[in-house]
Amino acid sequence: MKKKRIFLLSLLLNACFLIAGFGLVQRLGGPSYFWYRWKTKGRAVLYDHKISQFEFLAMDSSSIVFLGNSLTDQGNWQEWLPKFSIANRGISGDMTGGVYRRLDPIVQAHPNKIFLLIGVNDLLFKSVEETFQQYEQIVKKILDESPTTSLYLQSLLPVNNKVRYTGIDNDQILALNTKIASLAMEKQLSFINIHHELKDEGGNLNDDYTLDGIHLNGLAYAKWVAILKPYLEE
C-alpha cells in the first residue's frame, strides 16, 4: 500500500510538472516560439527582425554606416545628419560577436565610412581581454575586405550606476577604451573619444544625458553628433 501511495504521488507530481511546463511554454508564446528561442539561445526576435530589414536596405560606396548596439540603434542619425547618406546598422543588445557575424553585407558594399561603437554589452559576460580580441577581428575584417572604407573607432561611453545599476564597471570601460585607442594608433585609424565628452567629474555618464544609466537622451545625441561632424566632413 505504501509503494502504491508513493507511485500515485509520483504520478501526480509529474502531471503537475507537465501542466506547469505546458503553461510556461504557452506564456512564452507557444511551442513554435519557444522552439525559436531555444534554437537561438534566447536571442530576442528584435535582433532577427532587424537583420531581416537590413537584407532589403541597400548600401553602396557613398553610404556612411553607423555600426553597433542600442546606443547606435536608438540614434536618428539620418535626421540629425540630413546632408549624408546614413545607414544605421545598430541593433539593441548586440555584442562584438554579433557584429562580426553580420559584417559580410556591410563590407561587400564597400561603404564610404564606418563608425564603429561596440563592446559594452560584452562586459556583462566577458573579460576586457576577451572582448577586445573579438573587437580586433571586426577591425581586421573591415580593413581586409573593404580597404577603401574609412573606419572610425569610437570609444565606449561611460555608464552611471547611481542613476541605475547597469552591471558594468567604468574601470572595465576605460581599460577597453585604452586598448581600442592603441589599436587605432597601430592601424592608423581615427579614435573618437566620446567618453571624455559625456562623462562627469567622477568619470560616470553625466546625469544630464541618461534616465537609465546607459542609454542616451536627445541632449547627449546632440553632443555626440557635434563631435562626429568634423569626421563626417573629412
DSSP per residue over 154-175, as a string?
Answer: EPPPP--TTTS--S--HHHHHH
Q: 100-148, pLDDT tens digit by residue?
A: 999 999 999 999 999 999 999 999 999 999 999 999 999 999 999 999 9
Same domain, 114 and 208: yes
Please tell me the distance from the alpha carbon of residue 3 to that of residue 199, in angstroms, as a whole number.
Answer: 68
What local confidence, expressed as pLDDT, does residue 66 receive? 98
Describe the chain by its helix, strand, coil percentages, rounded to 5.
55, 10, 35
Report the CATH number at residue 59. Answer: 3.40.50.1110
Same domain, 101 and 153: yes
**24: CB partners within 8 A, 6+ apart:** none
Q: Is 51 helix (H, G, I), strand (E, B) or coil?
A: helix
Task: Quote the number of domains for the chain.
Answer: 2
Same domain, 35 and 52: no
Nearest one of 50, 160, 65 to 111, comparing CA atoms: 65
Residue 37's pLDDT band (boundaries 50, 70, 90)?
very low
150-154, strands of its sheet edge to edge: 86-90, 64-68, 113-117, 150-154, 190-192
Q: 134-191, pLDDT tens digit by residue?
A: 999 999 999 999 999 999 999 999 999 999 999 999 999 999 999 999 999 999 999 9
Residue for grid cell 560577436: 97
Same domain, 11 and 28: yes
Q: 119: exposed, middle or buried (C-beta count within 10 Å: 0-12, 13-18, 19+)?
A: buried
Q: 157: exposed, middle or buried (C-beta count within 10 Å: 0-12, 13-18, 19+)?
A: buried
What local confidence, expressed as pLDDT, does residue 27 receive? 59
- Number of neighbouring beta carbons within 10 Å of residue 125: 10
Residue 41: is its pLDDT beyond 50?
no
Same domain, 122 and 14: no
Residue for grid cell 581600442: 180
Q: 64-78, pLDDT tens digit by residue?
A: 999 999 999 999 999
Task: Give the domain range for residue 14.
Answer: 2-39
Residue for grid cell 512564452: 28
Same domain, 50 and 127: yes
What is the separation of C-alpha 76 from the centre of its chain, rounded to a whole number of angstroms?
16
